[in-house]
Structure 1
């Protein structure tokens, strides 16, 4: 297939270039550098500038010579006609080792160059060495064994012989897919691309050799392992360097090789940046086509680097370099400059993205008009878990927040293969109609997450995880919790769980994680031989976590209340509790680390001070926060937790708490309803919004004949229904407030699960808007926006009826 292949496309048949001496001679231009390098190494001084000028003029020569878009016809060009072209390449492969060793001898052994001249010679060798990968790359693709071994030897001269394995057996089969680390996704800068690419080259080549030998039932250290050859070649080169100049010369050689590899990686980055092969309906990647590499047609650069800019055709044909075809913009994306220019641009990510990303978007629109959303193909999750593409694409289309989770931690996708999840996601077609299937899935998910997986069962699962100290317990609780949160989010996104059911399960997850971490801290503390105090500690949680309405990103509003002596013992214990919980919130999908790490989170108080703060009307404590506070765990004397709960109930029963709520409701009633939906903050603070509804519900609980004894988990909807039944508000007002409470609860949960930070309705993806609307029970997002405005107005009107109907509490 080297010299004979399929005929040229019809559009190219009229633009033929013949294989001739005149056309082959320009490809001898790269050989001119070797006498220049030799002179620079012998004479030093101004001779050093000549090779540098040679490369510096390449860009100017590109402008002088222009473009070359003509092609040889592989079908009519015989192998014998390519002899001069191949001779140029072979001569370069022979002259490089000789010139390389000679220049190093002059610089390291002859001792006639100044230090600055030695460094300049090293820089020149680095620049020439860039072509090692181009020539070596060409040779390792050939069928003749001697050419492949010569290519490996050249690559070993820059300490990178394993490239011969990685490039041929990994890069080529998987180019422009996540399985090829050399194909950069869109948005990844060169500086982030480089470390993973270098590491994966070595590891990927080794894994390939290991798999190859395993298939042949041979040990990994068998003599046919290519790494034995690579080791011998490297020993040869490093042996020469050590013989000539000792350890310092070897260090210089390592730096030189690193610079050559660095320049090669820039080219790799440029050649396939952002280009992706899409998955076919059969689940396989589409065949490689010219559209999967960037092309350029600058004549002098192609002479200097053996048609490197025709890389698109190399991936589809593997022809010898003179037969590589230039593909125009109708078949391959075109770079705005030569490879040399683009390699320099890639070092500056902002300029690179600004220049190339618009061209990439045009390429995608041109070649893949049916693919509207490329976020899944560009994601880190797809790079790490290509087999999970369907789930990744589903998540990216419907839930940006969940997409952020899997891109930061692709291992979460493995939770979709756990039986705990798959047993609830019944396959399509197992019932006669989709509606029945959906009902069955909902029933299974609801039964498991709200009944079978109770708080006690969650605590038992965490207790079954073997840990040796509190640090391991915190890590285990976080990992366990994150997996469960992801599963619950997926069920909710797919409509198998309602927001209320998800909130119940998530709240239990939080409490189980907290209890597991704190219990481990208590055991560690006791294991140190610290004498036990005479009292105990109560851990109080406030907010949605306490009221059973937890959603991802919640603030861990917690405080530690102790009673007993010695006080220093309890303060030290509570300090360890706080440290453990701060660690628990780090990289936690459910709990916000930033909010917990700020300021007074995790306040430690003696019970007397806590009670005094609750009784003081000027303490600034929010009645709503107090109504949603409860003890989730206690250490030592159980009476401490009971006394703390009693103090919370007593504080809510004061007249000042009711008056504060009523004053705030009246003040907010003077504001206008905000139209539309901007984000979570707007539905919380708008008149008739979530905050008003929560305060109205609490006001009614504290009213005469209200449901003051309701637990913190009691939701606002139940409170409004109870108030309507008892005549505290009219049936119409109760209906309005119940509808508002239900909508705000769904909407808050939908935004916390689906929308990422900084959510803007106008710019949100269509899939995310549809998911939010579906969770809220409406057909489309526009209808949801209208419903929000209407519901807020009706809720505000219902709240205005509260004060006249409520007398003083006796």
Structure 2
């Protein structure tokens, strides 16, 4: 029964459409960026009324479908947004794009991240077309073969450095991730003797360009602007999440990936919306482990709040530094890093 909490993620998919129909197009943004952080803090980690499951894999038969159904749901949401874009004023269009981008980024990319780690063709195919919906298909390549290998090192554009604000990080990560994904695909093609037509980065980029062109054909410039804005907002939300997941934590090349190289969190509500993404230390220790089986890792550096709040702090660098730098200093003076072990706290 505990897996039922992940159904909450699906609410964000219908939220922008529902509130638009109700004449409250700003409500999704209010709920996500104001109400959710407050509720997240009030509920806290694993409340007493959230009974732990007897087995971490007992729910896999149906829980596995939750990330999958986000893809058709979000495609329907974006298509609807494109269709109504010509009727909107510039302010209303921006508001709707921000709401939809929050869904395609907060839920869509998170679900794609989860499916991209699964071995089946269905999951990996859905991950790729889900990322193409926001113009970020190369993340499928770079995250698994780049970030998970280079986490915490100076070579990893998705690891935020100490003192780096989120806006500088956006630029470095956006460029560095795409460039490295291209390099990885060149290596794969050369190894297998494939032509550039088999390059998945360019294939997914072309698919995203086709979506943008189709939005323009169907709904004119308003449709194109809406598609681009929702994609941009989704990507920047993802990169803000990347920023807070490893901020200031370092690892030498060749050093085993340890729990101490990821900030961890166990907020019940935000983890429900994000398919346990906050249990990030266990994810990096065991990337093959499905989201519902990820465990809290008390030994890892702990975020003071859930992602719903940490994202907001990241957007205000002075607040971010005031909250995170003392905590990071304590982490750096703690015991030395040890390789990740098969430990943690099950849900």
For normalisation by structure 2, the TM-score amounts to 0.88
The aligned counterpart of 1:794 is none
The aligned counterpart of 1:258 is 232
Task: Choose the corresponding residue for 2:135, options 149, 159, 162.
Answer: 159
C-alpha contact 1:138 1:320 (8 A) present in aligned 2: yes
The aligned counterpart of 1:182 is 158
| Secondary structure, counterpart of 2:296 in structure 1 | coil
Deviation at 1:52, TM superposition (A): 3.0
Task: Choose the corresponding residue for 1:52, options 19, 24, 29.
Answer: 29
Aligned mates of 2:52, 2:286 — CA distance in 1: 14
Report 1 or 2 for greater relative contact order, CA contacts < 8 Å, sequence distance ≥ 6.
2
Structure 1 segment 456-535 matched on structure 2, within 5 A: none
Aligned mates of 1:316, 1:188 — CA distance in 2: 25
Aligned mates of 1:72, 1:277 — CA distance in 2: 33
Deviation at 1:133, TM superposition (A): 1.5
C-alpha contact 1:275 1:293 (8 A) present in aligned 2: yes
The aligned counterpart of 1:297 is 266
Residues 597-617 of structure 1, C-alpha deviation per residue, up to 9 Å, x if partnerless? xxxxxxxxxxxxxxxxxxxxx
Task: Choose the corresponding residue for 1:98, options 70, 76, 93.
Answer: 76
Aligned mates of 2:53, 2:281 — CA distance in 1: 16
- Mark the CA change 1:217 to 1:64 in structure 2 (over 3 Å): closer, same or farther: same
The aligned counterpart of 1:413 is none
Deviation at 1:107, TM superposition (A): 2.6
Residues 34-84 of structure 1, C-alpha deviation per residue, up to 9 Å, x if partnerless? 33322334x362x3243234323112221332212899789x544x63123
- 2:302 corresponds to 1:334: yes
Aligned mates of 1:217, 1:293 — CA distance in 2: 37
Runs of 4+ in 1 over 4 A off after TM superposition: 69-74
C-alpha contact 2:257 2:284 (8 A) present in aligned 1: yes
Residues 328-362 of structure 1, C-alpha deviation per residue, up to 9 Å, x if partnerless? 1xx20011111121111122323322321221121
Deviation at 1:120, TM superposition (A): 2.0
Aligned mates of 2:189, 2:28 — CA distance in 1: 45
Task: Choose the corresponding residue for 2:168, options 171, 184, 192.
Answer: 192
The structure whose Rg is larger is 1
- 2:104 corresponds to 1:129: yes
Higher mean C-alpha deviation, range 334-343 or range 197-206: 334-343
The aligned counterpart of 1:119 is 94
Q: Which ranges in structure 2 are unaligned for 5 or more consecutive residues? A: 339-347
Deviation at 1:153, TM superposition (A): 0.7
Q: CA RMSD in A?
A: 2.4
Aligned mates of 2:147, 2:74 — CA distance in 1: 26
Higher mean C-alpha deviation, range 264-273 or range 348-357: 348-357
Structure 1 segment 313-352 matched on structure 2, within 5 A: 313-318=282-287, 319-328=289-298, 331-352=299-320
The aligned counterpart of 1:359 is 327
Aligned mates of 2:35, 2:62 — CA distance in 1: 25
Aligned mates of 1:174, 1:153 — CA distance in 2: 25
- Mark the CA change 1:234 to 1:341 in structure 2 (over 3 Å): closer, same or farther: same
The aligned counterpart of 1:637 is none
For normalisation by structure 1, the TM-score amounts to 0.39
C-alpha contact 1:140 1:148 (8 A) present in aligned 2: yes
| Secondary structure, counterpart of 1:367 in structure 2 | coil
Residues 143-171 of structure 1, C-alpha deviation per residue, up to 9 Å, x if partnerless? 00121111111111111101101111110
Aligned mates of 2:247, 2:337 — CA distance in 1: 19
Residues 231-272 of structure 1, C-alpha deviation per residue, up to 9 Å, x if partnerless? 442144123311222234323422332222111111101100
